[in-house]
Amino acid sequence: MAVKKRYGNALGRGLDALISTDEVRPQGSSTINEIPLEQIEANPNQPRREFDPVALQELANSIREIGIIQPITLRQIEVNRFQIIAGERRWRASQMAGLKAIPAYIRTINDENIMEMALVENIQREDLNAIEIALAYEHLLSSTGMTQEKVAERVGKSRTAIANYLRLLKLPAQVQMALQNKEIDMGHARALLAVDSPSLQVKLFKEIQKNGYSVRKVEEMVQKLKNGEDIVSGKKKITSKQQMPEEFSTMRQRLSDFFKTPVQMSVSANGKGKISIPFANETELEQIINMFDKLKEQQ
């Protein structure tokens, strides 16, 4: 990661003013970093003392298969030593999964008034990436008690823009890190947010990395998955079954067989949805209409 430029005064230095630049240069409240597990320790004041071993093993299995979905949050207590603020279960499960390092947000303890002023200033800097901005917004909300509307007012952005940045922090950790490192852009990330399943988000992300898909291509792939269709990327098939209950997938297939065309179907969590019947030309459209007419005659 590139080293940020240092400026002449405390507020002008922006995020550098919030980070100790002598020992651990890249780490601060606005970045995600891979931290070795051996450098992390539990918080002795953690209220939870017992962890369900079965649930912990299930989490370890999930981490072994698709990695960490949500980064843990740490604070630096000395050089190369960090203490857990949030995420001890993920830390323990990562050890069980055999990981050597884990993605983490690093929080530094500073005067909150200076922190707020520096964050507000630096959110407006063009060289900050989307994750840095999202974390700055999140920190303002959590540390100052501001509403999204108030933050929007302070930084001169719309509340919708604030919400869109905050949504990026719901993406799997490896997607966030790729966005931070500018391996994908915000358009890719926003397209992935339309997929409900984190594991499916990870699969699509890997295909983006492998094939260099454009934002428009990813949006098309996501829409097909939301419609209950499977997609093919290279030689890999990505199934949409995670997006739609099996009974709806069966109904969609029956309709596809009946109309002799790949019917598309989308269903929301409360059971509402829509059906789309594609056609390639006017002849196919006429055939579909004739089928509807025959069904009407049979009533």
What residues does 104 pair with on adjacent strands?
33, 72
Catalytic-residue membership of 88: yes
From the candidates 34, 41, 88, 121, give the one annotated as an active-site residue.
88
Q: Which residues are annotated as catalytic? A: 88
